[in-house]
Amino acid sequence: MGSLTQVNYLIFLLILSSFYFGIISVNDTITSTRFIRDPEAIISSNGDFKLGFFSPEKSTNRYVAIWYLSETYIIWIANRDQPLNDSSGVFQIHKDGNLVVMNPQNRIIWSTNVSIIATNTSAQLDDSGNLILRDVSDGKILWDSFTHPADVAVPSMKIAANRLTGEKIAYVSWKSSSDPSSGYFTGSLERLDAPEVFFWFNKTKPYWRTGPWNGRVFLGSPRMLTEYLYGWRFEPNDNGTAYLTYNFENPSMFGVLTITPHGTLKLVEFLNKKIFLELEVDQNKCDFYGTCGPYGSCDNSTLPICSCFEGFKPSNLDEWNRENWTSGCVRNMQLNCDKLNNGSDVQQDGFLEYHNMKVPDFAERSINGDQDKCRADCLANCSCLAYAYDSYIGCMFWSRDLIDLQKFPNGGVDLFIRVPAQLLVVAGGKKEKDYKGLIIGITLAIGALITAVTAYLLWRKFTPKHTGNQPQNLITGDQKQIKLEELPLFEFEMLATATNNFHLANMLGKGGFGPVYKGQLDNGQEIAVKRLSKASGQGLEEFMNEVVVISKLQHRNLVRLLGCCIERDEQMLVYEFMPNKSLDSFLFDPLQRKILDWKKRFNIIEGIARGVLYLHRDSRLRIIHRDLKASNILLDDEMNPKISDFGLARIVRGGDDDEANTKRVVGTYGYMPPEYAMEGIFSEKSDVYSFGVLLLEIVSGRRNTSFYNNEQSLSLVGYAWKLWNEDNIMSIIDPEIHDPMFEKSILRCIHIGLLCVQELTKERPTISTVVLMLISEITHLPPPRQVAFVQKQNCQSSESSQKSQFNSNNDVTISEIQGR
């Protein structure tokens, strides 16, 4: 009897299992008799996708949605603009054959709204995440979610447009992270002759665009080649519809590309269902549509970022000077083409060439011929204002004003802008290489040669001669030699006279290198003279290092080296004079810091960041400063920052993540990251850490080397981190700049500062990312993680003071620490 019972039990389990797996096999489908009620769901047969009800973070509204792996990655929402107020919703096939969302009152709040003759339909969630409504009788697709997207594109989805009907498949952002209703940003395929993706604000105002697709990349998005977007395909068909899709060659990969509520693109890529890439595409001011207006070129590496092309001038100079560039530029001289056709005796127009340019909007395309024919056709057509040639697209030309132009550091196209012949003589070097241009070039070269010879003779006449006994191109010290590459030399007597014999009244300050004096040359130019102290062996090495480094640098946010003196056993460096001295003299002075309003402070922050970016990325050398601090930031007469003191700087070679190690740790307490102070390891992220400290000092008006919160003896970095975690970060802001108008910008800078001072090197952003964070308000900021040097002991420093929360400590400079 027991055996029979066991057999019956096993048979029962087998039947139950068969029944269960039978349910699972159809668990991806909704029919006229099978619906889902909150919180039920259906799952794709591969288990990757689920369709069910969900509520966004910080919301109680309920939505029918499809997600990949978890509700974190919502890829489609049915009733995004008609939420359910409770968990009593139903998703089903209606009697008319449409998919509908029903509320508790049995009213339809959303429908696929397809005109259907057949009422016998079913909806299946397939293995790509597409919800497909079919006619059961013939399998015909009546509707699918991929052609009615929300804010997300996944592999196999299409960005489509029809050139004949004007119909488009548009992607619309969420309104906010907790509200999936239709937001402010829309993405759609446009300009089908040279197709590109446009992103719109409020559906009508262009926000930014990718540039034309050439079969490999979008020409306005050169980062595609190196960063994130690949696998794209453009597929036109005969009925006027064109599709843009993206897929992965590796079937184990999957991607979720989202238009965020603030208008950026966010990409999450999965490998074997695990995240291996997550990033948000950074944007800068130049990416925004038409930042510099018609005929205005935007270059994010310059200040100001907008400029007019040769032969053009600002349309509205007053607005241009206020940095409102949207009115753009207009021609100084009219084109000759129409006059030439009317028989006037004028020269033919020509073209000025500009490299690495974003393709302007409204490109017209011609696939006939090569670049020479492209030029000839444009020149023969008076309405053609510019042309560009891409080997994959062919010839592009413009008959409308050039708008949305941007200069890239690399990538883009060579753009040829039509100008009158008179301008070709003036612009010389940028014009096309034709016969007339060659003659003009030779003429200009001869003129330049005459000018150069004249300038050289005048220089020989008026420049002080070197009178010392050392070779003119050599500095010797501690058996080290440095060759001076075209660095001007000053006579000792000239500098002595300029500084009133190095009088104490002329001394501006003193550092490890030696004293710094203010001077004035005979021509009235004010200078700053750094004089090596004979007692400083460290100073000699710094002197030699500074000559090597800064003689090769030139940037508006770096102090300019005018020359040096190496006579009478003296080593002196001559710099441009900064009338407002250093940042610390303003920032930490209770009276002087009133001068630094938020606009000035932000300009200083951005200028320092751009200077460091130049050192790390854009100069001929790759340089780590190693001693960024407030006293090494000088201010010119307009309070623009200049990074100074390159005595500790190091030239490095290699990739982004290269680290170097030193046994001699030098720098300033409070500004050094832990990996450098304790291990002697330095990298570009060392400067990023120092910049973060400096940023927090600028926002707070407090020194990092002082102590805050008496119970815990926190540095400024630690104090800021404590306030951040207590959601009380507003209290760290300097009262002198505490203005509701700038609150968002100030808080963003604090956030960036905390990202820069994170304990782990890999968590800190690069300086290029920092610059993008500063200039682009829509760039996403990740939450900061544990910062370095959170707590200190009082016994570690004698500089602690209890007299005021704004201690007037001097920077404690480390002359030498042996690293491990």
Instruction: Determine the average pLDDT of the residues in 183-201.
Output: 92
Residue % of the chain over a pLDDT of 90: 47
Q: Is the pLDDT of residue 548 over 50?
A: yes
Name which CATH class applies to 474-576: alpha beta
Question: For the segment 475-520, what is each residue's pLDDT rounded down to a tens digit?
Answer: 333 333 444 555 788 899 999 999 999 888 888 877 666 788 999 9
Residue in 204, 285, 194, 185 with CA at minimum distance from that of residue 234: 194
Instruction: Determine the average pLDDT of the residues in 406-423.
Output: 91
- The pLDDT score that the predictor gives to residue 419 is 95
438-461: b or e for each residue (b if 16 or more CB lie within 10 Å)?
eebeeeeeeeeeeeeeeeeeeeee
Average per-residue pLDDT in the chain? 81
> For residue 254, with 0-12 CB atoms within 10 Å meaning exposed, 13-18 middle and 19 or more buried, which class applies?
buried
Instruction: Determine the average pLDDT of the residues in 169-195.
Output: 93
Instruction: Determine the average pLDDT of the residues in 705-727.
Output: 78
Asked whether the domain spanning 583-818 has the same topology as the one spanning 24-147, the reply is no
Instruction: Determine the average pLDDT of the residues in 273-295.
Output: 85
CA 377 to CA 195: how far, in whole Å? 22
- The pLDDT score that the predictor gives to residue 430 is 46
| Distances 406 to 158, 295, 356 between C-alpha atoms, Å | 28, 10, 8
Q: If you count DSSP H runs as helices and E runs as strands, how many of each does the chain have, helices first?
A: 15, 48
Q: What is the largest CA-CA distance in the chain?
A: 123
- The pLDDT score that the predictor gives to residue 545 is 66
- The pLDDT score that the predictor gives to residue 668 is 73
CA 616 to CA 755: how far, in whole Å? 18
Name which CATH class applies to 24-147: mainly beta
Residue in 357, 378, 385, 383 with CA at minimum distance from that of residue 212: 357
Question: For the segment 123-152, what is each residue's pLDDT rounded down to a tens digit?
Answer: 999 999 999 999 999 999 999 999 999 999
- The pLDDT score that the predictor gives to residue 772 is 84
Residue 703, token pair as written in the block: 């020194």
Pick the range with the lowest mean pLDDT from 408-422, 522-536, 657-671: 657-671
Q: DSSP secondary structure string, 132-198?
A: EEEETTT--EEEEGGGS--SEE-TT-EEEEETTT--B--EEEEEETTEEEEEEEEEEEE-TTS-EEE
- The pLDDT score that the predictor gives to residue 45 is 96
Q: Is the pLDDT of residue 712 over 90?
A: no
Residue 30 pairs in a beta bridge with 123
| Residue, of 89 and 348, whose pLDDT is higher | 89
Pick the range with the lowest mean pLDDT from 84-98, 404-418, 647-661: 647-661
CA 32 to CA 389: how far, in whole Å? 56
CA 250 to CA 806: how far, in whole Å? 58
Residue 306, token pair as written in the block: 């907008």
pTM metric for this prediction? 0.54
* Topology (CATH) of 583-818: Transferase(Phosphotransferase); domain 1 (1.10.510)
Q: Is the pLDDT of residue 249 over 80?
A: no
Pick the range with the lowest mean pLDDT from 30-44, 454-468, 592-606: 454-468
Residue type, 774: L
| Distances 287 to 232, 281, 339, 400, 778 between C-alpha atoms, Å | 21, 11, 37, 20, 12
CA 63 to CA 131: how far, in whole Å? 15
| E-only strand ranges, 693-770 | none
The pLDDT-based confidence of 282 (bands split at 50, 70, 90) is: low
Domain boundaries, the chain: 24-147, 152-283, 332-436, 474-576, 583-818
Pick the range with the lowest mean pLDDT from 173-182, 423-432, 598-607: 423-432
**Pairing state of beta strands 405-406 and 296-298?**
parallel
Name which CATH class applies to 332-436: alpha beta
- The pLDDT score that the predictor gives to residue 236 is 82
The pLDDT-based confidence of 816 (bands split at 50, 70, 90) is: very low
Q: Report yes or no: 396 and 212 within 8 Å, Cβ to Cβ.
A: yes
Pick the range with the lowest mean pLDDT from 239-243, 399-403, 724-728: 239-243
- The pLDDT score that the predictor gives to residue 709 is 59
The pLDDT-based confidence of 284 (bands split at 50, 70, 90) is: confident
Q: Is the pLDDT of residue 657 over 80?
A: no
| Residue, of 308 and 778, whose pLDDT is higher | 308
- The pLDDT score that the predictor gives to residue 661 is 53
Would you call 90 helix, strand, or coil by DSSP?
strand
Q: Report yes or no: 559 and 644 within 8 Å, Cβ to Cβ.
A: yes
Question: For the segment 207-220, what is each residue's pLDDT rounded down to a tens digit?
Answer: 999 999 888 788 88
Bond into 782 cis (ω within 30): no
- The pLDDT score that the predictor gives to residue 339 is 75
CA 289 to CA 298: how far, in whole Å? 10
Question: For the segment 486-495, what is each residue's pLDDT rounded down to a tens digit?
Answer: 578 889 999 9
- The pLDDT score that the predictor gives to residue 512 is 60
CA 119 to CA 141: how far, in whole Å? 13
Q: Report yes or no: 328 and 375 within 8 Å, Cβ to Cβ.
A: no
Residues tagged active-site: 627
CA 65 to CA 95: how far, in whole Å? 22
- The pLDDT score that the predictor gives to residue 815 is 34
CA 653 to CA 711: how far, in whole Å? 44
Q: Report yes or no: 605 and 596 within 8 Å, Cβ to Cβ.
A: no
The pLDDT-based confidence of 669 (bands split at 50, 70, 90) is: low
Rg (CA), the chain: 33
